[in-house]
Structure 1
């Protein structure tokens, strides 16, 4: 079978690997239907984030179950499911606390398609073995189009953690998103904030293409930092830019929550710690815990009108998935029809 592999120098290709097979009664074999290229994938391909040539790439996937272990309950063959990017067992102490990105049963940070330890390969392949299927699979809503919801498989979950829980605790709060390196994640954060009824959603980015995508969600697009408001309660840093991070922090109100959804690429980044201390700023960074956010994001889509498909996406046939990964567009995806639909 084929699997997407990063070949180095901006190239992605199909390579033959051993067929995915059911090796444990708690697992499943899933046939991908929709593959999405994540912001992190773009970072790998374009050299912003290091990845060794030969590593499997791709972790945003919706598929259909073709084989199911006897221990997996609540699912059936032919069912369409999201498969989480993170590999986690669902039963260790960390998983039970909702820290699915820090599972104790697998090598730290284990994931599909990110060059991480554990040898789990990519979720971008002809077939994928899901080792902890009962924990790692989430049913696709009945009748939903996988291409329309592929953003929920990964990036929208990352966006949610930066705005959704905080808007539940602070209804109507003002939100600032500093856009940039994590391009779609930042735009989705603005879209989720608008859907959740934030009082004001400002999207700050000099890039006109990203600004136009954020405007589709109703965000106010700002290109000049001089136009930023004073006192945002919720701040999202998707910029990857140290100066933008500092400016965003300085426009946060006392007791604000600032979340970085992407890492700074330099090893050390200076922040205005004294100002943050006096204001009582909470600063959150790090790899998100994806699984706990699925139901909230799907509810945000269903009940509040968040539409991940609004971000312009270049769509490729499944066989052309390598071209989708090398596409310079902001967002790309690949798809194929179901084996089970009439």
Structure 2
């Protein structure tokens, strides 16, 4: 079979490799049919994020089940499924608590398509086949009527955005939400804006300097305001930092209202001093870290299936699978390759 390999910034190649095989009863083989770029991928391809190759590429996608082990009960060959990017067993203590990104059955941060950071043994989803080690725990069947292309990022980026707004809007229905968009997380902030609108935020403000992203946010129902992360637009009970960098992080925290909640979905490469006195004074809660995506995926799919949220608006380019390499090197904001 063929798989896409990343050798380093600007260096991709197709590689012939042996097909994976089932060797345990809880496993499944899947064929990716709609694979998307994560927000981290363009940064890696452009050399802005240190994730050295070579490694099998791709960790967001929808797949068709090809074969299952004798112990698999929830999916059958022919089913279309979301493949969570994180490897999770479903039965360890963190998995049972919904903390699937910290599964203790495997090495910490085990995932598809993230090189040494996620473990090379899992391969990538930009491939003809992928092995799912815990099919019943990991795979989420795609509801009828949902276009795989629309939800290709349901493996990672869309659930990442969901965790930044959904729990808080559940605790404070109708709260106002501010999202600081920017180059570091080009799609997660947009998904967060659309999800906040879908989940009933009384006001959803998307702040960014990029005209294309501002237009997409407006199409998703948000109030788009042009400005950098330091532009003051008020204080909000829920804030999402999706711009990257110390300035944006502190700006998001400073824009969080009393008893509010600020979530950073960016990867901060350096230590950032926080405005702790202001956070203490306002009883501000701050959260950062990897999203535990598996528990959020069914909720995201339900919002799409019921017409409340359309993630396809965020996709900026769709190409045939065989054209993936050239399209990836052009680094579009959100690329989906389709079989």
TM range (shorter): over 0.9
Distance 1:131 1:326 in 2: 31
Counterpart of 2:14 in structure 1 is: 14
Contact 1:195 1:304 in 2 (8 A): no
- In the aligned structure 2, how far is the partner of 1:259 from the partner of 1:239? 12
* Alpha-carbon distance between aligned partners in 1 of 2:134 and 2:277, rounded to the nearest angstrom: 44
TM-score where L is the length of structure 1: 0.94
d(CA) in 2 for partners of 1:127, 1:305: 32
Gaps of 5+ in 2: none
CA pair 69-168 structure 1, distance change in 2 beyond 3 A:
same
Report whether the alignment pairs 1:223 with 2:226.
yes
Secondary structure in structure 2 of the residue aligned to 1:328: coil
Partner of 2:136: 134
Pairing of 1:248-327 with structure 2 (within 5 A): 248-265=252-269, 267-303=270-306, 305-327=308-330
Equivalents in 1 of 2:336, 2:109: separation in Å? 24
Q: Against the structure 1 CA distance between its residues 238 and 143, is the aligned structure 2 distance closer, same or farther, given a 3 Å change threshold?
A: same
Give the secondary-structure state (helix, strand or coil) at the position aligned to 1:73.
Answer: coil
Q: CA deviation at 1:9?
A: 2.7
Instruction: Give the conservation status (yes or no) of the 8 Å contact 1:315–1:332.
Output: yes
Query: Where do 1:182-221 residues align within 5 Å?
Result: 182-221=185-224
Structure 1 segments, 4+ long, off by >4 Å, are none
State yes or no: 1:238 paired with 2:246. no
After superposition, the C-alpha distances for 1:191-238 in whole angstroms (9 at most, x for unaligned) are: 000111101111111121211111111211222367633220000000
Q: Which residue of 2 aligns with 1:98?
A: 98
1:48-127 pair list within 5 angstroms: 48-115=48-115, 116-117=118-119, 119-127=121-129
Q: Unpaired runs of 5+ in structure 1?
A: 337-342
Structure 2 Cα separation of the partners of residues 194 and 215 of structure 1:
11
- Distance across 1 between alignment mates of 2:209 and 2:316: 21
Give the aligned partner of residue 175 of structure 1.
177
Distance (whole Å) between structure 2 residues aligned to residue 314 and residue 142 of structure 1? 24
- SS of the equivalent of 1:201 reads strand
Name which of structure 1's ranges 67-76 and 45-54 shifts more when overlaid on structure 2. 45-54
For this pair of structures, how many residues does the alignment match? 335
Aligned to 1:247: 251
Tell me by how many angstroms 1:21 deviates: 1.2
Distance 2:85 2:274 in 1: 31
Do the aligned residues in 2 keep the contact of 1:255 with 1:279 (CA within 8 Å)?
Answer: yes
Task: Please report the RMSD computed on the Cα atoms of aligned residues, expressed in angstroms.
Answer: 1.4
| Whole-Å separation in 2 of the counterparts to 1:304 and 1:251 | 31
State the 1:18 CA deviation. Answer: 1.6
SS of the residue 2:187 aligns to: helix
Query: Does residue 148 of structure 2 align to residue 157 of structure 1?
Result: no
Write out per-residue CA displacement over residues 242-292 of structure 1, whole angstroms, 9 at most, x where no aligned residue: 112212211211111000011122x21112111001111110000110001
Give the distance between the partners of 1:222 and 1:244, measured in 2 at CA.
Answer: 15
Provide the C-alpha distance between the structure 2 equivalents of 1:104 and 1:153, rounded to a whole number of angstroms: 20
Cα distance, 1:114 vs structure 2:
0.6
TM normalised by structure 2 equals 0.95
Q: How far apart, CA to CA, are the structure 2 residues paired with 1:224 and 1:150?
A: 30
